[in-house]
Structure 1
Protein backbone atom coordinates (compact mmCIF):
# COMPACT_ATOMS: atom_id res chain seq x y z
CA UNK A 1 0.00 0.00 0.00
CA UNK A 2 1.31 3.43 -0.94
CA UNK A 3 2.08 6.09 1.61
CA UNK A 4 0.71 8.85 -0.60
CA UNK A 5 -2.08 8.48 -3.11
CA UNK A 6 -2.41 10.89 -6.00
CA UNK A 7 -5.79 12.58 -6.04
CA UNK A 8 -7.50 15.73 -7.24
CA UNK A 9 -6.74 17.33 -3.88
CA UNK A 10 -3.11 17.53 -5.07
CA UNK A 11 -3.94 18.85 -8.53
CA UNK A 12 -3.11 22.45 -9.42
CA UNK A 13 -5.00 22.10 -12.73
CA UNK A 14 -1.88 22.51 -14.83
CA UNK A 15 -1.20 19.23 -16.63
CA UNK A 16 2.59 19.44 -16.84
CA UNK A 17 2.98 20.43 -13.18
CA UNK A 18 0.49 17.81 -12.00
CA UNK A 19 2.45 15.17 -13.92
CA UNK A 20 5.65 16.27 -12.19
CA UNK A 21 3.97 16.32 -8.77
CA UNK A 22 2.75 12.79 -9.44
CA UNK A 23 6.34 11.72 -10.20
CA UNK A 24 7.51 13.19 -6.88
CA UNK A 25 4.72 11.30 -5.07
CA UNK A 26 5.89 8.12 -6.84
CA UNK A 27 9.45 8.66 -5.57
CA UNK A 28 8.23 9.01 -2.00
CA UNK A 29 6.13 5.88 -2.38
CA UNK A 30 9.13 3.99 -3.75
CA UNK A 31 11.14 4.90 -0.64
CA UNK A 32 8.21 3.92 1.58
CA UNK A 33 7.87 0.54 -0.16
CA UNK A 34 11.61 -0.09 0.24
CA UNK A 35 11.37 0.72 3.94
CA UNK A 36 8.48 -1.70 4.40
CA UNK A 37 10.48 -4.48 2.77
CA UNK A 38 13.65 -3.68 4.75
CA UNK A 39 15.54 -2.36 1.73
CA UNK A 40 15.58 1.36 2.52
CA UNK A 41 19.36 1.52 2.75
CA UNK A 42 19.61 0.18 -0.80
CA UNK A 43 17.41 2.92 -2.31
CA UNK A 44 17.60 5.88 0.11
CA UNK A 45 20.60 7.60 -1.47
CA UNK A 46 19.32 7.02 -5.00
CA UNK A 47 15.87 8.40 -4.15
CA UNK A 48 17.31 11.44 -2.33
CA UNK A 49 19.57 12.17 -5.31
CA UNK A 50 16.76 11.67 -7.83
CA UNK A 51 14.40 13.82 -5.79
CA UNK A 52 16.98 16.61 -5.53
CA UNK A 53 17.54 16.56 -9.29
CA UNK A 54 13.89 16.18 -10.23
CA UNK A 55 12.76 18.83 -7.75
CA UNK A 56 15.24 21.29 -9.26
CA UNK A 57 13.77 20.67 -12.74
CA UNK A 58 10.23 20.87 -11.39
CA UNK A 59 10.86 24.03 -9.39
CA UNK A 60 12.47 25.67 -12.41
CA UNK A 61 9.29 25.04 -14.44
CA UNK A 62 7.02 26.41 -11.72
CA UNK A 63 9.26 29.44 -11.23
CA UNK A 64 9.42 30.10 -14.98
CA UNK A 65 5.61 30.08 -15.17
CA UNK A 66 5.26 32.30 -12.11
CA UNK A 67 7.97 34.76 -13.07
CA UNK A 68 6.89 34.92 -16.72
CA UNK A 69 3.32 35.71 -15.68
CA UNK A 70 4.23 38.12 -12.86
CA UNK A 71 2.80 35.94 -10.09
CA UNK A 72 2.61 38.25 -7.05
CA UNK A 73 3.85 35.67 -4.51
CA UNK A 74 6.78 34.50 -6.64
CA UNK A 75 9.50 35.54 -4.17
CA UNK A 76 7.86 33.76 -1.22
CA UNK A 77 7.27 30.65 -3.31
CA UNK A 78 10.86 30.60 -4.58
CA UNK A 79 12.13 30.88 -1.00
CA UNK A 80 10.18 27.73 -0.09
CA UNK A 81 11.74 25.92 -3.03
CA UNK A 82 15.23 27.08 -2.05
CA UNK A 83 14.75 25.88 1.54
CA UNK A 84 13.57 22.47 0.36
CA UNK A 85 16.55 22.05 -1.98
CA UNK A 86 18.93 23.10 0.82
CA UNK A 87 17.40 20.52 3.15
CA UNK A 88 17.64 17.73 0.57
CA UNK A 89 21.25 18.72 -0.22
CA UNK A 90 22.02 18.55 3.52
CA UNK A 91 20.39 15.10 3.81
CA UNK A 92 22.40 13.89 0.81
CA UNK A 93 25.62 15.29 2.28
CA UNK A 94 24.95 13.70 5.66
CA UNK A 95 24.27 10.34 4.01
CA UNK A 96 27.47 10.58 1.98
CA UNK A 97 29.38 11.14 5.24
CA UNK A 98 27.72 8.16 6.88
CA UNK A 99 25.62 10.35 9.16
CA UNK A 100 22.31 9.71 7.47
CA UNK A 101 19.27 10.27 9.64
CA UNK A 102 16.77 7.48 10.00
CA UNK A 103 15.08 6.87 6.68
CA UNK A 104 11.72 7.27 8.43
CA UNK A 105 12.65 10.84 9.34
CA UNK A 106 13.64 11.54 5.76
CA UNK A 107 10.48 9.92 4.43
CA UNK A 108 8.34 11.92 6.85
CA UNK A 109 10.05 15.18 5.87
CA UNK A 110 9.74 14.52 2.12
CA UNK A 111 6.12 13.40 2.21
CA UNK A 112 4.84 16.08 4.57
CA UNK A 113 6.72 18.86 2.80
CA UNK A 114 5.45 17.80 -0.61
CA UNK A 115 1.81 17.46 0.42
CA UNK A 116 1.82 20.66 2.48
CA UNK A 117 3.60 22.59 -0.26
CA UNK A 118 1.23 21.43 -3.00
CA UNK A 119 -1.95 21.84 -0.96
CA UNK A 120 -0.86 25.16 0.54
CA UNK A 121 1.51 27.11 -1.66
CA UNK A 122 1.11 25.53 -5.10
CA UNK A 123 -2.70 25.55 -4.99
CA UNK A 124 -2.49 29.34 -4.78
CA UNK A 125 -0.79 29.78 -8.14
CA UNK A 126 -3.06 27.32 -9.97
CA UNK A 127 -6.00 29.69 -10.52
CA UNK A 128 -3.67 32.60 -11.21
CA UNK A 129 -1.79 30.72 -13.94
CA UNK A 130 -5.03 29.23 -15.30
CA UNK A 131 -6.26 32.81 -15.77
CA UNK A 132 -3.03 33.47 -17.71
CA UNK A 133 -3.91 30.62 -20.08
CA UNK A 134 -1.70 27.90 -18.56
CA UNK A 135 -3.55 24.61 -18.09
Structure 2
Protein backbone atom coordinates (compact mmCIF):
# COMPACT_ATOMS: atom_id res chain seq x y z
CA UNK A 1 0.00 0.00 0.00
CA UNK A 2 1.27 3.45 -0.91
CA UNK A 3 2.64 5.56 1.91
CA UNK A 4 1.99 8.72 -0.11
CA UNK A 5 -0.62 9.07 -2.83
CA UNK A 6 -0.29 11.84 -5.38
CA UNK A 7 -3.31 14.10 -5.64
CA UNK A 8 -4.05 17.44 -7.22
CA UNK A 9 -3.74 18.95 -3.73
CA UNK A 10 0.03 18.37 -4.04
CA UNK A 11 0.29 20.13 -7.40
CA UNK A 12 2.35 23.31 -7.46
CA UNK A 13 1.14 24.29 -10.91
CA UNK A 14 4.65 23.92 -12.33
CA UNK A 15 4.55 20.88 -14.62
CA UNK A 16 8.18 19.75 -14.35
CA UNK A 17 8.23 20.29 -10.59
CA UNK A 18 5.06 18.19 -10.22
CA UNK A 19 6.58 15.43 -12.39
CA UNK A 20 9.66 15.37 -10.17
CA UNK A 21 7.54 15.33 -7.01
CA UNK A 22 5.66 12.31 -8.39
CA UNK A 23 9.01 10.56 -8.91
CA UNK A 24 10.06 11.33 -5.32
CA UNK A 25 6.74 9.97 -4.05
CA UNK A 26 7.23 6.83 -6.14
CA UNK A 27 10.72 6.29 -4.69
CA UNK A 28 9.49 6.77 -1.12
CA UNK A 29 6.68 4.29 -1.82
CA UNK A 30 9.17 1.80 -3.29
CA UNK A 31 11.34 2.09 -0.18
CA UNK A 32 8.30 1.64 2.05
CA UNK A 33 7.17 -1.42 0.07
CA UNK A 34 10.66 -2.95 0.33
CA UNK A 35 10.71 -2.34 4.09
CA UNK A 36 7.25 -3.85 4.60
CA UNK A 37 8.12 -6.88 2.46
CA UNK A 38 11.26 -7.48 4.49
CA UNK A 39 13.55 -7.04 1.49
CA UNK A 40 17.25 -7.27 2.16
CA UNK A 41 19.54 -4.34 2.77
CA UNK A 42 20.85 -4.60 -0.79
CA UNK A 43 17.41 -3.89 -2.27
CA UNK A 44 16.60 -1.15 0.25
CA UNK A 45 20.09 0.29 -0.15
CA UNK A 46 19.62 0.66 -3.91
CA UNK A 47 16.25 2.36 -3.54
CA UNK A 48 17.57 4.59 -0.75
CA UNK A 49 20.57 5.60 -2.88
CA UNK A 50 18.27 6.42 -5.81
CA UNK A 51 16.03 8.45 -3.51
CA UNK A 52 18.95 10.46 -2.12
CA UNK A 53 20.45 11.04 -5.59
CA UNK A 54 17.13 12.02 -7.16
CA UNK A 55 16.39 14.37 -4.27
CA UNK A 56 19.68 16.20 -4.89
CA UNK A 57 18.82 16.40 -8.61
CA UNK A 58 15.33 17.71 -7.83
CA UNK A 59 16.57 20.32 -5.37
CA UNK A 60 19.14 21.49 -7.92
CA UNK A 61 16.33 21.92 -10.47
CA UNK A 62 14.26 23.97 -8.04
CA UNK A 63 17.21 26.11 -6.99
CA UNK A 64 18.09 26.90 -10.63
CA UNK A 65 14.46 27.85 -11.22
CA UNK A 66 14.51 30.14 -8.17
CA UNK A 67 17.75 31.80 -9.29
CA UNK A 68 16.52 32.20 -12.86
CA UNK A 69 13.41 34.04 -11.67
CA UNK A 70 15.05 35.88 -8.76
CA UNK A 71 12.68 34.30 -6.23
CA UNK A 72 12.87 36.39 -3.06
CA UNK A 73 12.51 33.45 -0.67
CA UNK A 74 15.36 31.47 -2.19
CA UNK A 75 17.61 31.52 0.92
CA UNK A 76 14.95 30.01 3.21
CA UNK A 77 13.90 27.47 0.57
CA UNK A 78 17.51 26.42 -0.03
CA UNK A 79 18.04 26.11 3.73
CA UNK A 80 15.17 23.59 3.91
CA UNK A 81 16.76 21.65 1.07
CA UNK A 82 20.19 21.67 2.71
CA UNK A 83 18.81 20.45 6.03
CA UNK A 84 16.97 17.58 4.36
CA UNK A 85 20.00 16.57 2.26
CA UNK A 86 22.12 16.55 5.42
CA UNK A 87 19.60 14.43 7.34
CA UNK A 88 19.05 12.00 4.45
CA UNK A 89 22.77 11.77 3.74
CA UNK A 90 23.56 11.07 7.39
CA UNK A 91 20.93 8.33 7.48
CA UNK A 92 22.28 6.80 4.23
CA UNK A 93 25.81 6.69 5.69
CA UNK A 94 24.53 4.97 8.84
CA UNK A 95 22.47 2.56 6.75
CA UNK A 96 25.47 1.71 4.57
CA UNK A 97 27.59 1.15 7.69
CA UNK A 98 24.96 -1.21 9.10
CA UNK A 99 24.14 1.00 12.07
CA UNK A 100 20.68 2.09 10.89
CA UNK A 101 17.69 0.34 9.36
CA UNK A 102 14.78 1.56 7.29
CA UNK A 103 11.96 1.77 9.81
CA UNK A 104 8.41 3.03 10.09
CA UNK A 105 9.85 6.08 11.86
CA UNK A 106 12.13 6.87 8.90
CA UNK A 107 9.30 6.33 6.42
CA UNK A 108 7.00 8.63 8.39
CA UNK A 109 9.76 11.28 8.45
CA UNK A 110 10.15 11.07 4.66
CA UNK A 111 6.39 11.21 4.11
CA UNK A 112 5.83 14.09 6.51
CA UNK A 113 8.80 16.12 5.31
CA UNK A 114 8.00 15.78 1.61
CA UNK A 115 4.29 16.47 1.89
CA UNK A 116 4.86 19.42 4.23
CA UNK A 117 7.58 20.86 1.98
CA UNK A 118 5.40 20.53 -1.11
CA UNK A 119 2.25 21.89 0.56
CA UNK A 120 3.96 24.93 2.07
CA UNK A 121 7.30 25.85 0.55
CA UNK A 122 6.94 24.49 -2.98
CA UNK A 123 3.36 25.68 -3.44
CA UNK A 124 4.50 29.17 -2.45
CA UNK A 125 7.24 28.94 -5.08
CA UNK A 126 4.72 27.65 -7.63
CA UNK A 127 2.40 30.57 -6.96
CA UNK A 128 5.22 33.10 -7.36
CA UNK A 129 6.43 31.49 -10.57
CA UNK A 130 2.88 31.15 -11.88
CA UNK A 131 2.49 34.92 -11.59
CA UNK A 132 5.53 35.20 -13.86
CA UNK A 133 3.93 32.88 -16.41
CA UNK A 134 5.94 29.78 -15.56
CA UNK A 135 3.95 26.59 -15.97
Q: What is the TM-score normalised by the length of structure 1? A: 0.93
Alpha carbons 1:28, 1:107 under 8 Å: kept = yes
> For residues 40 and 2 of structure 1, do their structure 2 counterparts lie closer, same or farther at Cα, with a shift above 3 Å needed?
farther
Residue equivalent to 1:73: 73
Tell whether the 8 Å contact from 1:44 to 1:103 is kept in structure 2 after alignment.
no
Alignment of 1:104-123 (within 5 A): 104-123=104-123
The farther-off stretch of 39-48 and 83-92 is 39-48
Which residue does 2:64 correspond to in 1? 64
Runs of 4+ in 1 over 3 A off after TM superposition: none
- How many residue pairs get matched? 135
Q: Deviations over 1:68-101 (max 9, x none)?
A: 1111110000000000100111011111211114
1:78-97 matches, cutoff 5 A: 78-97=78-97
Answer yes or no: is the 8 Å Cα contact 1:48–1:88 preserved in 2: no
CA offsets 1:43-66 (integer angstroms, 9 cap, x no match): 321122111110111111111111
1:100 aligns with 2:91: no
